[in-house]
Structure 1
């Protein structure tokens, strides 16, 4: 027999004890229960809790409120002295008379607490209304409470200074996770891209490619999600617009207005309320070239990623591009330096072709961490394990005269990976990047393995921002404790 369609619209019964239990009684039948909470009482409780949070340490607000109160008291005393102390005498006499009248009506045991409560209520009312007005003026359409925003800002401002070097989606993934732990972030981004929308804008306007920079700005943005989505929006049709992202066009227009990509990044950072800074690795017009094992030499970042022979050597034109001073300064002041994750030859190593960056990294006393990819990349890192990635980095550094090891630690994916997803990648020529922790430790590396893909099932093998950032912060705390 079929079910009546009307039954589908009925609410599901609440599970609970039998009819004899008090919990089974309807809310309306309970004595003194109206079934509806008083919104005014709820609002009062909410305001009280918010006011109490202003007493939490670390806000750097209470000390200045007390300073203001002390200043007001001194101001009144100064005015009283100037007026031959008469106002103080009159005020004390008025208070004395008022208290004497109250104590005639009510005993001191009631008068004292009553006056204290009235004073506390007036202080609470004045402060809550004042901060509420400030909140309404600063962010009228946001749900964020001012005290929560201040607490978060203070916590993040005390975070470590982290320099993340790379490009592509790997760097933006790392940044979106790290911004939960610190606002002192610097992203040093490769500017060698010559494919897709970035390549078209680079050729037509003679500017540096904006794509990876756009991704980093969006990852570090603390603005409304809609604004970030707008920045990442890619046109799917339209003559001349198809394939371009709005953020790339925005950066191109700002570059034309301000005169440089660096100035355009600064302006975009203000628009998106970026938490940290994004710095190009160089301001030179860099073009990559690669020598392959079969003797072929190819030029262009987009062609290198499609090479069908192992890469022997990587270089760029111009040969020794200069670094930006802001990048050098950020590395010098860093508490942690991170390279990766990302494509080894097209996102990571191009940054190490800037000699001044390599010199700054080697001179830094901060711990230096290399984050390896989850999977090998066909045409770039076929057959390489974690040690192979590190050897490729060392070989590349040797071409610019750097013989010493640049990184102290390695972060790699812990097994296992979803077998079905793994088989899908194997059919495309990718394999998991294996990590022989014992061998790397014998070489002096601090090796960390962690579930960098996260615990949630996904359709692609990518780093999870939260899991990745958590592992990076554990590495930092371990080295800070040991130092």
Structure 2
């Protein structure tokens, strides 16, 4: 309320030069003032209690030293009122005293809140009340668990963080290619690549942090090809002792909304059995084998889950799987027995976000029901109740572009999906790059559809 009075006074000065402009601004400013009176901010009550405490302390001190303050104050106030009444009539002095008192209260509070806002948001034009309101709204959001990896999970998180701060991302640690693979082989750390993307997606300064974390060194002996984010998380792992602690420490520094957890701290290595009998080892080698996957597993078998992961699932209000590479991003998390058991026991809304396009080497020719069967086969049970699918097909330009890589839209075979006992949630959740022809999930539309479905199934209302 601090900067509010000062801004109001400036607006009054501007009235001389532009009355119409002020007329347009005043309702907005008044609406902003009244936001401080909204319930649930936990500010008004503490200010009132503080003021009452000061008055009680002063009164007690006066009584203690024997000043009998009540009688003295009443006499002093009576003398002042009689003097004012002789000079100014009551219909003038009364309103004037009220106006002066209110002005001093508003001025003092506005200066106080202005100082607080200057510390909390020194370089932001966002009002303190808006920051507090958003903070309260996000903290009251549902506890969401998102499971996956790769760019798909980070895209999802970028949209979900606008609705809740109670997000836990469970990320696969099976990556063995690129910069993550090199660090895994040379230093012996768990692959940080997918975790890096998720931390950046949930960070407060997402755009700048994403650019920093995604920056890849193009020169330097041993540095070329590495991303800054991977090196940062690797260094934090060495300093703190393990990846879980490193992620938690990094999240505090980067003001991350929610938490990012590796599915396991075991050094997991994926393997896949193909229809032609071949056995392929290594996450990065599986898509290159160009065969139909009939079975997926990991070494060591049945890795232990991180305790914090199981705790997050048990407390979850909403569980989301995908989007992302089916066999190398989504399913690897479900190869941890404790994770799939915990999900199966939860009686909360559970949904799978199906990919828009098939992925060469992993899901060639797959329909929506094929994706569902693959997950059910690995888990030997149903882990989700509904599936979100893209409602319309990409443009001809994109179809031609993907056809060159033997990739096609994932066909929605409604009857087969229904027979599998899953509810279909069709929606327009696609972004299409007209220049390159690539399609991706739109994080804002995807999050909006997910939370609308959650509202319908759970009765929760977002403000």
Q: TM-score, normalised by structure 2?
A: 0.90
In the TM superposition, what is the alpha-carbon distance from 1:41 to its structure 2 partner?
Answer: 12
Contact 1:80–1:88 (8 Å) recurs in 2:
no
The match for 1:462 is 440
**2:358 aligned with 1:380:** no
The match for 2:404 is 427
Contact 1:51–1:128 (8 Å) recurs in 2:
no
The aligned runs of 1:78-117 (5 Å cut-off) are: 78-84=60-66, 86-117=68-99
In the TM superposition, what is the alpha-carbon distance from 1:431 to its structure 2 partner?
Answer: 0.9
The match for 1:304 is 286
Change (3 A) 1:173 1:273: same
In the TM superposition, what is the alpha-carbon distance from 1:120 to its structure 2 partner?
Answer: 1.0
The match for 2:8 is none
In the TM superposition, what is the alpha-carbon distance from 1:447 to its structure 2 partner?
Answer: 1.5
The match for 2:393 is 416
Post-superposition CA distance 1:419-463 (Å, at most 9, x none) = 221221122111111223354234421210100115896742100
In the TM superposition, what is the alpha-carbon distance from 1:78 to its structure 2 partner?
Answer: 2.8
Contact 2:433–2:439 (8 Å) recurs in 1:
no
Post-superposition CA distance 1:275-296 (Å, at most 9, x none) = 0000000000000000001110
In the TM superposition, what is the alpha-carbon distance from 1:184 to its structure 2 partner?
Answer: 0.1
| Unmatched 5+ stretches in structure 2 | 1-13
Change (3 A) 1:281 1:102: same
Q: Within 1, Cα distance between the matches of 2:98 and 2:227? A: 61
The match for 1:360 is 342
In the TM superposition, what is the alpha-carbon distance from 1:141 to its structure 2 partner?
Answer: 2.5
Change (3 A) 1:44 1:117: farther
| Unmatched 5+ stretches in structure 1 | 1-31, 399-403
Contact 2:183–2:189 (8 Å) recurs in 1:
yes
Q: Within 2, Cα distance between the matches of 1:305 and 1:455? A: 24
SS in 2 for 1:302: coil
The match for 2:42 is 60
The match for 1:139 is 121
The match for 1:160 is 142
Q: Within 1, Cα distance between the matches of 2:345 and 2:206? A: 39
Identify the match of residue 101 of structure 2 among 105, 115, 119. 119
The match for 2:430 is 453
Q: Within 1, Cα distance between the matches of 2:452 and 2:104? A: 46
Change (3 A) 1:43 1:253: farther
The match for 1:284 is 266
Q: Within 2, Cα distance between the matches of 1:50 and 1:481? A: 30
Q: Within 1, Cα distance between the matches of 2:22 and 2:386? A: 56
In the TM superposition, what is the alpha-carbon distance from 1:238 to its structure 2 partner?
Answer: 2.8
Change (3 A) 1:394 1:39: closer
SS in 2 for 1:306: helix
The match for 1:270 is 252
Contact 1:454–1:467 (8 Å) recurs in 2:
no
The aligned runs of 1:16-35 (5 Å cut-off) are: none
In the TM superposition, what is the alpha-carbon distance from 1:351 to its structure 2 partner?
Answer: 0.4
SS in 1 for 2:430: coil
Contact 1:228–1:272 (8 Å) recurs in 2:
no
The aligned runs of 1:323-402 (5 Å cut-off) are: 323-398=305-380
SS in 2 for 1:231: helix
**2:301 aligned with 1:319:** yes
In the TM superposition, what is the alpha-carbon distance from 1:42 to its structure 2 partner?
Answer: 12
Q: Within 2, Cα distance between the matches of 1:264 and 1:95? A: 63
Q: TM-score, normalised by structure 1?
A: 0.87
**2:444 aligned with 1:479:** no
**2:175 aligned with 1:193:** yes
Moved more, 305-314 or 204-213: 305-314
Q: CA RMSD in A?
A: 2.6
